[in-house]
A and B are shown apart, each in its own frame.
Chain A
Amino acid sequence: MRRRTPLFAGLVLACAVISNGDPSGVLRFIDTAKEAGLRAEMICGGSEKHWIMEANGSGVAVLDYDNDGLLDILIVNGSTVPRLIRILAGATPSPAANGLYLFHNLGHGRFSDVTAKAGLSNSYWGTGANTADFNNDGFVDILVTNIGIDLLFRNNGDGTFAEIGKSAGLSREIHWHTGSAFGDYDNDGNPDLYIAGYVDIRSINFGAAPGVCDYRGISGFCGPLNLKGERDVLLRNNGDGTFSDVTERAKVVDVDARYGFTAVFEDWNQDGRPDIFVANDSGANYLYLNFGDGTFRESALVSGVAFNGDGRSQANMGVAVGDYDHDGKLDLLTTTFSEDYFPLFRQISPGYFEDVSAAAGLVAATTPYLGWGTGFADFDNDGELDLWVANGHVYPTVGKLGSTTYLQPFSVFKNRRGRFSEAPLGLPKNSYRGAATADFDNDGRMDIAVLPIGGAPMLLSNRTENRNSWIGFSLGGTRSNRDALGARVQIEGCNRKWFDTVRNGAGYLSRSDPRLHFGLGSCGVVEQASIFWPSGKRQVLKNPAIDRYITVREP
């Protein structure tokens, strides 16, 4: 997006009251994965999907591991059932050839596979990809959750990583862990870690033929409901490179062992303390409100996010978080199964939510889809957060039903004053799972990395053309945690306000751009940017430059 002269900016300011930005722009994405060198072969069991693990896919994380200002891509891959069975039987796992991929962003739309050079590998069935500077050394680290043993890769600062899960105190038992989230719940400056658990993998009888269940008249693998759930864990960062399991002490015990998929730290009730939301498959979600004394209270039901507006639990997979209606409160959406809708929970007062999916146009729009990865992002910088969803069914033969299909689109729902409608993108359908948004070329337009359950990933380069402005922030904590997790940025310009927080988690098994990005529409000036650091410090930037990323260090 082009820069403007001050005169032009003044004109835009005058017009901003009546315009939300360039309305002519049609969203345009081009898959550049091949020419960018993003070559990976996604695997998640066999193509026929006889077992539940084969249906869920894996995630992608965005990180700048070498601090060169360009965002790199980490892809976590699944595995095969025979290999998993061998590991469960006690075999020592050897690194899988394609268990992980790290692609270094070379600039100019090119990436280079540096997995081996970086010392990364995964022997297990990979599920979640996450990144955070957990040890506050200025180099972002990697967490890979697995059906197996989770791996924590410390960034050595020289382009290589060392796996330190054992010395960091992560469980060395085999679990089926899924989404993870870093957040500083005790505000000691060290990012803590919540990991969601899905199914107790040992409750699946691999000695027998896979169970066959009926889904609306078609045969498929059996879902989680008759399997024992895997419990979630909260790990407190001790500040010395180790974590301690504080799940019970913090009162976030997943007593029912629900089938957790996605977690996110966010200060939902605006009391200055990060809470935790967990999306659970086939069960009520969790919302753990932070008391500030090291403990939480589960209050999803009372907060209105345990169930949808009908009081019905859904198959919650991914989570999107954002202030889609500009009321200064963060809202959230979960992706769910097909023939059901994705509930949009609007926060109506601190810590209280209302399912507004119908009024937002999302019931009809999302009912055909089975959604996984999701998030809010302003793809055309018109100042409104759009909703993106990576869709794809779990049953390859589901098309027989006529009401849904196995291959589904990657969808973007354009936000027009709080009502969403699907934008035509013309992209190939697939059975998509994890995805992450990031501005890989720093041009102010959010791109997307999308993983299918099998085959090659997509790198959707955003080629949307318009004259809208934008601003981005890259925050670095000093007293607060280095990643500034929990910091809130509010910007004001042209009589409008936008805000967002630096957060980790949400999406689905994936980690999006760690920076904050705001589309400004036709507003050509930001009069003020206020940063509320987790340490309690407030920082104000007057008239920050627009159409660029601004790096801000905590004073």
Chain B
Amino acid sequence: MKKHHGTNRRWALLVVAIAIALIATACGDDDAATPADVDDTPAADDTADDVDADDTPPEGFRFGLILVGPENDRGWSQAHVEGGQYVVDQLGAEMIIVEKVNPADKPDITVELVVDDLIDQGAELIFATSDDMKDGIIAAARNHPDVPMIWSSGDSAWADGQAFEPGLTNLGNIMGRMEFGKMIAGCAAALASESGEIGYLGPLINDETRRLVSSAFLGAEYCWEDAGNAAGSLDFSVTWIGFWFNIPGVTLDPTQVVNEFYDSGADVVISGIDTTEAIVRTGQRAAAGENVFAVPYDFEGACAEAESICLGVPYFNWGPEYLDVIESAAAGAFEADFVWAGPDWSDINSRSSSTIGFVPGDGLSADDAATLDGFIEGLADGSIDLFTGPLNFQDGSSFLGDGEVATDTQIWYLDQLLEGIDGASSAG
């Protein structure tokens, strides 16, 4: 019996060994066939973001894009892909994408490991495109001090910032001044709302999201009261799901949160998460006869989920800044700068110059659309400056005194939501 066992164990091990050997042989065979494959592979790659599998040095500059979500999320991650694609179109550079880099989708992967792989593949500049990648990209930048990297939405290269890493001369930051986009979103929501109750579908709580929720609130409050409603009568609440997108069993379900907003009297939901649940669910409820509207986020084409109830979308156009940094890296002149790029007020929807844009949606009436245009003009010429005091924090303490204008650091590191917003400023 014992002998039997031993023999068979050897057999079983042999099978595993044979399987591995088979794969190895396949590789051996394939080495000879590589030149033929090189011809095949580009033909098979018909989508723009695929990378040629050949090992020949590329003509163009090769850069890697690490996404927190799927590349076609019609939100945050896809906006980065579009930005990268803009560079590909402009420069003939090559883009390598790794999507869904987060502990829920890929528990066996870290940002550091992905960066190692991308550099193996010849990437000369790496974009880590989520706030969530902070620890990983800082460690990766330390591991590869000669490879320029960008942590999008981060503050590690900001000399005035709280997380400044002066030693990391190969890690820069790029972010857009989405405060303006969110103010416009808030204004559109207030113009369309009849009940005066607006829900904000929040992701997780941090400096960035407190800043953006507060901006949406300021825009909404301004347009609500500008339309003749009583001061303080706007009901603006935020519910945080706990991450940038839905992770079943871990975050709140965003669709459920949207339902709860509408069930409790809201008639507009502004999305702050990476994905499309707010506009999708709003579209379904509108189709069932409810008078509800949504403002999606991040991605220029986001209104396409439900055109008729879309009030418009504030979006990121990463292309121009990504082009700049890739050009300087390709010229060997990369600097670890902190870039916080605003809208190009002469044309906020310019592909080539405006990092922040806003596309009005079909859900907006002609009158409201005209009012919104006026609001945008006011932001552009500075006649409307919403981060001006008096403004209080949620706990009643003073954020800005009368007439005081917030500095960049005050806006970036807003450590509480503003007074007038219902919802948590931090957890616990």
Instruction: Tell me, yes or no, whether A binds B.
Output: no
